[in-house]
Amino acid sequence: MPNGKGEFIMETKVIEVDPLNIEEEKIKEAAQAIKEDKTVVFPTETVYGLGANGLSENAVRKIFEAKGRPYDNPLILHVSNVRSFLEYTYISYALLEKIERLLPGPITFVLKKREVVPDIVTAGKDTLAIRMPAHPVALKLIEYAEVPIAAPSANISGKPSPTMSEHVLKDMLGKVDYIIIGGKVEFGVESTIIDLTQGKIPIILRPGPIPPEKLKEIFGDIIIPDFVYGKIEPDYIKSPGMKYRHYAPNTPVILVEHDDANTMVKKVLEEVKSYNNPLVLCLKEHVGYYKDHNINFDTIGSESNYYEFAVKLFEMLRKYDEKVDAMIIEGIEDKGIGIAVMNRLRKAAYQIL
């Protein structure tokens, strides 16, 4: 809890688990903490989450305090079985059958909420974001806690989501009761969120690891609003303001977008000249363009594997933060998990070229 001066003075217990060989006793200890309205950081397959008993207003308030998260931003309720969807939301069996095909997995569903879920979780809305994660540690923690776990990503509000143990230790040590370290995450971007409350066709609210094609297979049709691509309105490009930056490191991110690789590289090489100590984050296939130019660069995935780009994205943003004076990043195509990557990058960007 904050000590009144906005500082945190909590003692955090760090538990290390091997997701492939989980020691049950360790998870049980953390689950007991959840039962006692304490806060527990835990790994999921997308990013690390900062959890507490989702049925306790007192516990959920601690999440908002630890993150510095505004109370009008609702949380995702994490559950460990399909039955819980019936317990916490109003959902037809026909719809449940469809979403079951995606469970457990990196996707969150917005549904009409039942009374039992406290208003603090949903920020007073009558809808609930609910997700059954695929990570064995997350599932066991929820199961042993015997309550659903409300959890946002375990970063300080506005910063890149944590994908590695170092990240959660840096952001959350001293602010939560427990941190479960379970290695690196599988996807590296937050879950896909779809809204199932607006008519018959699901609407994507946040792109993530489950791509639109997969959703079309299951739901037949899917609405992808423009904001899903994270594109800034033309006017805002002229005056990039803090207001539109999310997931943002302190070092400015310059995103370079172009369908044609040669043109994109040219723009990157031009932009590099504007800084004293820039870093270029590029696709593996483009290393040849930069290595002879005496340019500081690192690779962030390859053209043939956007999943690799996704899993390295927040790691790179954190690794080079405050080590360089600009991160100039090559964009990728808006397809598959690339949509999620570009959504996060466009939001993190100080400037888009």
Residues contacting 31, CB < 8 A, separation 6+:
140, 141, 143, 144, 145, 146
Q: Does 53 bind Mg ion (CB under 5 A)?
A: no
Q: Does 129 bind ligand TXA (CB under 6 A)?
A: yes
Q: Does 44 bind ligand TXA (CB under 6 A)?
A: yes
Contact 166, 16 (CB under 8 A): no
Q: Does 105 bind ligand TXA (CB under 6 A)?
A: no
- Distance separating alpha carbons of residues 235 and 349, to the nearest angstrom: 15
Maximal C-alpha separation, the chain: 62
Among residues 39, 153, 299, 343, the one that binds Mg ion under rule CB under 5 A: 153
> Sign of the C-alpha dihedral, residues 62, 67, 70, 74?
negative
Among residues 125, 267, 284, 347, the one that binds ligand TXA under rule CB under 6 A: 125
SS3 percent helix, strand, coil of the chain, rounded to 5, is: 35, 20, 45
Shortest reach from residue 191's CB to Mg ion, in Å: 10
Q: Which does 44 bind (CB under 5 to 8 A by kind): ligand TXA, Mg ion, none?
A: ligand TXA
Nearer to Mg ion, 127 or 153 (CB): 153
Q: Does 128 bind ligand TXA (CB under 6 A)?
A: yes
Shortest reach from residue 188's CB to ligand TXA, in Å: 10
Q: Two tokens at 194?
A: 């779809």
Tokens 């990240």, residue? 167
Q: How deeply is 4 buried, as exposed, middle or buried, from its count of CB atoms within 10 A (0-12, 13-18, 19+)?
A: exposed
Residues contacting 154, CB < 8 A, separation 6+:
41, 47, 48, 49, 50, 67, 161, 162, 167, 168, 171, 172
Nearer to ligand TXA, 129 or 328 (CB): 129
Rounded to the nearest 5 degrees, what angle is found at the Cα of 189, between the Cα atoms of 199 and 137? 100
- CB count within 10 Å of CB 291 equals 10
Residues 48-87: x where in contact with ligand TXA by CB under 6 A, - otherwise, as a string: -x-----------------------xxxx-----------
Nearer to ligand TXA, 196 or 282 (CB): 196
**Phi and psi dihedrals of 300, rounded to 5?**
-135, 50
Shortest reach from residue 228's CB to Mg ion, in Å: 16
Q: Does 118 bind ligand TXA (CB under 6 A)?
A: no
Total residues in contact with ligand TXA, by rule CB under 6 A: 24
Q: Does 151 bind ligand TXA (CB under 6 A)?
A: yes
Among residues 53, 56, 89, 191, the one that binds ligand TXA under rule CB under 6 A: 191
Q: Does 343 bind Mg ion (CB under 5 A)?
A: no
Query: In the complex, which residues of this chain contact Mg ion (CB under 5 A)?
Result: 153
Chain residues that interact with ligand TXA, rule: CB under 6 A: 44, 46-47, 49, 73-76, 108, 110, 122, 125, 127-129, 131, 133, 151-153, 190-191, 193, 205
